Structure 1
């Protein structure tokens, strides 16, 4: 079973939105993924999903009541097959934290989206544009799902 961890700075906006959307996508397409999210920082540890993200998830009929910010842990690099950062800073932080043998697991979320390969998912905490974040995350779901399926076939 493929295990995916989405990561952003605080784990209250982008990464829990990605977690919820991918979990739902996995269920709808019977992918059997294990999906979680985490933060690179400790700033929001223990806090619930930010209201703008909660509103998007509710609109999509995704329960966020069990989602609370947590910081990435060393064992996450062993447990998860894919560790996907929302922006370049997250990816750099993850690569700095990752043991050498786990660095290949770290990816930028939009790297597989044609025309957006080197772009970040903007942080709606700063932009206030939660719909923009939602649309960018939605664009990546089928592409990531395909990568996860291909990995499963080669295992």
Structure 2
């Protein structure tokens, strides 16, 4: 299972930014039904891998995580593509910034899926993430 959550709850229940919805739709992905939620304590036991989009998220996630789950919390692009860089927040920028972030995440997600597919357990075949 894969899920998405934030380290803060200030947008809980809200749909994605309209610019994110538009970019995803141009790529044939409908995210309009998604709603923001805050990371829960049980997420650290439900998921095998916890990924933060930037270093501040990773730091916050590791603070929230029980000691035993901290080693499973990583920077998204570092885990996905071997690039220890943050995914920029496009919120204050224009539509092209949202498109750029979409491409960045899509390429990294493809790389991560291949990597996890190569190492998935033959019995479960599942990989999970919370961002």
Q: Which TM class, normalised by the smaller chain length?
A: 0.7 to 0.9
1:131 aligns with 2:75: no
5 Å-filtered alignment, 1:65-76, equals 65-76=32-43
Higher-Rg structure is 2
Residue 119 of structure 1 is matched in structure 2 by: 85
The normalised TM-score by structure 2 is 0.83
The secondary structure found in structure 1 opposite 2:92 is: helix
Deviation of 1:135 after TM superposition, in Å, equals 1.7
Where structure 2 has 5 or more consecutive residues not aligned to the other structure, the ranges are 124-131
Residue by residue over 1:49-104, the C-alpha shift from the partner in whole angstroms, topping out at 9 and shown as x without a partner, is 11111001111221223200000000000001111110000000001111111112
Q: Which residue of 2 aligns with 1:152?
A: 120
**CA shift at 1:154, angstroms?**
7.3
Report the equivalent of 1:86. Answer: 53
Structure 1, unpaired ranges of 5+: 1-33
Work out whether 1:109 is the aligned partner of 2:76: yes
- Considering fraction of residues, name the structure with more strand: 1
1:140 aligns with 2:98: no
1:99 aligned onto 2:66: yes
Distance in 1 (CA, whole Å) between partners of 2:12 and 2:110 is 30
Return the structure number with greater relative CO, CA threshold 8 A, min gap 6.
Answer: 2
Q: Which residue of 2 is the match for residue 63 of structure 1?
A: 30
Alpha-carbon distance in structure 1 between the residues aligned to 2:42 and 2:70: 13
Using the size of structure 1 for normalisation, the TM-score is 0.71
Aligned structure 1 segments of 4 or more residues deviating by more than 6 angstroms? none
